[in-house]
């Protein structure tokens, strides 16, 4: 069915075929994910997955699409040439080097991006995909619990991340969904403060942003705590962010646009007087990639629909003082939204 | 000095400039590595590093090249357009989407790959780079020690990897250099058997292939053990691989080519009668990327030179039976080669 949509795209755009090489798109369309990569060729009538010889046996076991193998680049290019792919649909990420090879050795001359049709498919998750994302979110919650237990005065941010990632892997994750963020004290004002060698100090705000990669799907969640007792200003920004995040989760539903959801969350932060310190968008889609569609931002008018999985993650960042971010991965349902990451949000 | 070589390339190829956007090349040329990326523009007389506003402060502190910031895509494209980059040098990995944007919004019309000149620079490591790679190799050795202590009958491959990656991170690594391979029993016949949920059984060959990413540089090492007492066939392939790997390390020196080194190692495996089961190349360069230049293979005639860092990693893979691989990261010195990963190699 997914491949059928690519065939429609071929017909709509009068292409000779589509070539997919991106790791997660290969998994999406074939069910297989060779470490050394592969080439999914879709033509008006056919689909074939061409993989390096070393990957052949495993690909044959996992792929829903017929599999062929190649030994050398020459063999691969000859086989690709046989499809006569002059006007070719490719992914937007396809590299300049690959384009040159396709031109010089495969006879392709004209390229069209297939990104929009891939997005149209992948933006709505199937029940099977949702189950896997829920499991990935469950692992993220376990890692968050480990972080909350582990964080104390004197420990290094990196040590906390090490423990969290150990917990993820022991619970079945392939790896962290992205480089774990542990940003304490002044570093909490950095939206992307990767866990560093800084030691956690008493009174620090600590932003913990993490997720797990599980069976090819990602999860994403953030909590913020204070080591010791929060001061008034810390409380002030904490409760502003918490209210914005809660209102976002409550409001998210089919029919509203991603932009409207961003506005609604942003307005809460503005009401508290911190609008200038919420310096990123409200969220993003999550799936086979950690950042996918829709973007919950002022630039994305996508209408929310059941089966979309997005994050809601408002934040306030005060330079030198620190910052707060609270984030859940949520599923858009028929009537509203469901939180897939479930760690308690009120932590100070 | 590195940027001067890009300026020479501009002049040699009559370009208007070079645009670098790849993460590790940005780090290589600027000393800075913004999480959200950046745009290094080099013109015949100038170099400027343009980063998203969120990254500005950090980039200014770390970059050796003057830094500018942008707020929106529009602002970025206007600034890039101001350089009049009609004929532009770019990295081979630059994506089709980026090329389209450069054409439509920046006025670029003609693209030339800068990969060869980047390779020419990066293939020889400076003393400072070698120190960091040595540290990354030291962390890989610690993780290997943890694996050797941890592996026992009944444990899952993934649990071993979890412990190793915890040790890496606790010792300062940013993360694993690549997905850790723990391939036991029949899975040891898979050259890329990522740690799975398989339990380790008595009598299993276990291939452990891992490395650490430390301060942007990678390390790479493999050891193979037998759980319990090895049988004759296991010993046979183990000692063939060990001899090939030792001879490779002893022979590697300036003046020989990567291909000659591959041949020398491959011939040892052939003498033992397992030539058909050594199904990959002997090794690869290691640095800011886990796989870089040279390739120690039949396809690469690069002459080895002092300052190159490569792996030597022969293996024998017998389908269904299992496999053996032994690998070190080594440095080509004035007179020979130095092992940078140092875990004992004779482990059965």
Average pLDDT over residues A274-286: 97
CB B304 within 8 Å of CB B254: yes
Q: In whole angstroms, give the CA distance from residue B33 to residue B28.
A: 9
Say yes or no: A54 contacts chain B, CB-CB below 8 A.
yes
* Judgement on whether residues A212 and A138 belong to the same structural domain of the protein: yes
CB A6 within 8 Å of CB A114: yes
Q: Which domain holds residue B19?
A: 2-122
From chain B, pick out residues whose CB is under 8 angstroms from the CB of A20. none
Cβ contact (<8 Å) for B176 and A176?
no
* Judgement on whether residues B79 and B175 belong to the same structural domain of the protein: no
Cβ contact (<8 Å) for B158 and A176?
no
Q: How far is B209 from chain A (nearest CA, A)?
A: 14
What is the torsional sign of CA A181, A187, A191, A196? negative
**Which of B20, B169, B181, B315 is the best mutation test for A, with the most CBs of A within 10 A?**
B169
Q: How far is A87 from chain B (nearest CA, A)?
A: 15
Whether residue A267 is contained in a domain is answered as yes
What secondary structure letter does DSSP report for B2? H
Whether residue B348 is contained in a domain is answered as no
Residue B1: what pLDDT? 81
For residue A58, the domain's CATH number is 3.40.350.10
Whether the predicted pLDDT of A1 surpasses 90: no
Residues 258-317 of B with CB under 8 A from A: 279-280
Cβ contact (<8 Å) for B93 and A95?
yes
* Judgement on whether residues B112 and B254 belong to the same structural domain of the protein: no
The DSSP secondary structure of B183-234, one letter per residue, reads: EEGGGGGSTT-B--SPBP-TT-EEEEEE-EEETTEE--EEEEEESS---HHH
In degrees, to the nearest 5, what angle opens at C-alpha B37 toward C-alphas B34 and B41?
A: 105
Whether the predicted pLDDT of A268 surpasses 90: yes
- Percent of chain A past pLDDT 90, that is, above it, reads 98
Strands A39-42 and A17-20, by their bridges, are antiparallel
- Chain segment A165-221, per-residue pLDDT in tens: 999 999 999 999 999 999 999 999 999 899 999 999 999 999 999 999 999 999 999
* Judgement on whether residues A167 and A112 belong to the same structural domain of the protein: no
Cβ contact (<8 Å) for B192 and A36?
yes
- Write the residue in B113, B175, B280 that is nearest to A179 by C-beta: B175
- The residue among B104, B122, B140 that closes a domain is B122
Residue carrying structure tokens 């061409």: A50
From chain B, pick out residues whose CB is under 8 angstroms from the CB of A53. 279
From chain A, pick out residues whose CB is under 8 angstroms from the CB of B113. 96-97, 100
Say yes or no: B23 contacts chain A, CB-CB below 8 A.
no
* Judgement on whether residues A164 and A60 belong to the same structural domain of the protein: no
Token readout for B35 is 């999480």
Whether residue B231 is contained in a domain is answered as yes
Long-range CB pairs of A338-344, under 8 A, 24+ apart, other chains included: A339/A249, A340/A133, A340/A134, A340/A137, A340/A219, A340/A309, A341/A137, A341/A140, A341/A141, A341/A144, A341/A219, A341/A220, A341/A221, A342/A137, A342/A141, A343/A141, A343/A144, A343/A145, A343/A148, A343/A221, A343/A223
Place A54 in a pLDDT band, splitting at 50, 70 and 90. Answer: confident
pLDDT mean across residues, chain B? 97
pLDDT mean across residues, chain A? 97
- The residue among A104, A122, A140 that closes a domain is A122
Cβ contact (<8 Å) for A165 and B165?
yes
Q: In whole angstroms, give the CA distance from residue B129 to residue B122.
A: 10
Whether the predicted pLDDT of B143 surpasses 90: yes
Neighbours of B348 (CB within 10 A): 14
- The residue among A92, A122, A152 that closes a domain is A122
For residue B161, the domain's CATH number is 3.90.230.10
Whether residue A348 is contained in a domain is answered as no
- Chain segment B283-333, per-residue pLDDT in tens: 999 999 999 999 999 999 999 999 999 999 999 999 999 999 999 999 999
Residues 6+ apart with CB under 8 A from B245: B265, B312, B313, B314, B326, B327, B328, B345
Whether the predicted pLDDT of B54 surpasses 90: no
CB B27 within 8 Å of CB B216: yes
- The total number of structural domains that make up chain B: 2
Q: Which regions of chain A does DSSP assign to beta strands (E)?
A: 17-20, 39-42, 47-52, 67-70, 87-90, 110-113, 175-176, 181-184, 205-210, 212-214, 217-218, 221-226, 283-285, 292-296, 309-312, 315-318, 322-325, 328-332, 337-339
CB B312 within 8 Å of CB B330: yes
* Judgement on whether residues B118 and B133 belong to the same structural domain of the protein: no
Place B231 in a pLDDT band, splitting at 50, 70 and 90. Answer: very high
* Judgement on whether residues B320 and B172 belong to the same structural domain of the protein: yes
Average pLDDT over residues B238-245: 98
- Chain segment A138-176, per-residue pLDDT in tens: 999 999 999 999 999 999 999 999 999 999 999 999 999
What secondary structure letter does DSSP report for A277? G
């Amino acid at each position: 069915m997914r491949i059928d949509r690519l065939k429609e795209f071929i017909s709509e755009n009068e292409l000779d075929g589509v070539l997919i090489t991106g790791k997660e798109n290969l998994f999406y369309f074939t069910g297989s994910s060779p470490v050394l990569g592969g080439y999914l060729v879709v033509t008006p009538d056919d689909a074939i997955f061409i993989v390096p010889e070393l990957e052949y046996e495993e690909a044959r076991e996992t792929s829903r699409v017929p599999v062929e193998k190649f030994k050398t680049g020459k063999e691969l290019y000859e086989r690709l040439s046989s499809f006569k792919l002059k006007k070719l649909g490719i992914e937007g990420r396809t590299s300049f080097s690959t384009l040159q090879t396709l031109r010089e050795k495969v006879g392709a001359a004209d390229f069209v991006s297939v990104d929009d049709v891939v997005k149209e498919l992948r933006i709505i998750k199937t029940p099977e995909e949702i189950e896997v994302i829920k499991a990935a979110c469950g692992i993220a919650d376990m890692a968050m619990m480990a972080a909350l237990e582990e964080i104390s005065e004197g420990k290094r941010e990196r040590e906390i991340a090490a423990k969290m990632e150990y917990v993820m892997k022991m619970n079945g994750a392939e790896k962290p969904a992205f480089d774990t963020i542990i940003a304490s004290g002044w570093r909490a004002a950095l939206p992307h403060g990767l866990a560093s060698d800084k030691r956690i100090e008493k009174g620090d705000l600590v932003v913990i942003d993490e997720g797990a990669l599980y069976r090819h799907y990602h999860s994403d969640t953030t909590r913020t705590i204070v080591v010791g007792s929060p001061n008034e200003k810390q409380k002030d920004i904490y409760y502003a962010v918490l209210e914005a995040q809660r209102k976002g989760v409550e409001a998210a539903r089919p029919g509203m646009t991603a932009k409207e959801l961003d506005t609604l969350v942003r307005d809460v932060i503005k009401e508290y007087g911190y609008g200038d310190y919420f310096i990123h968008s409200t969220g993003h889609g999550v799936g086979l990639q950690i950042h996918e569609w829709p973007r919950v931002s002022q630039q994305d008018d996508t209408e929310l629909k059941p089966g979309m999985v997005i994050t809601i993650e408002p934040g306030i960042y005060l330079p030198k003082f620190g910052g707060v971010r609270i984030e859940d991965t949520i599923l858009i349902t028929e009537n509203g939204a469901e939180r897939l990451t479930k760690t308690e949000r009120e932590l100070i």
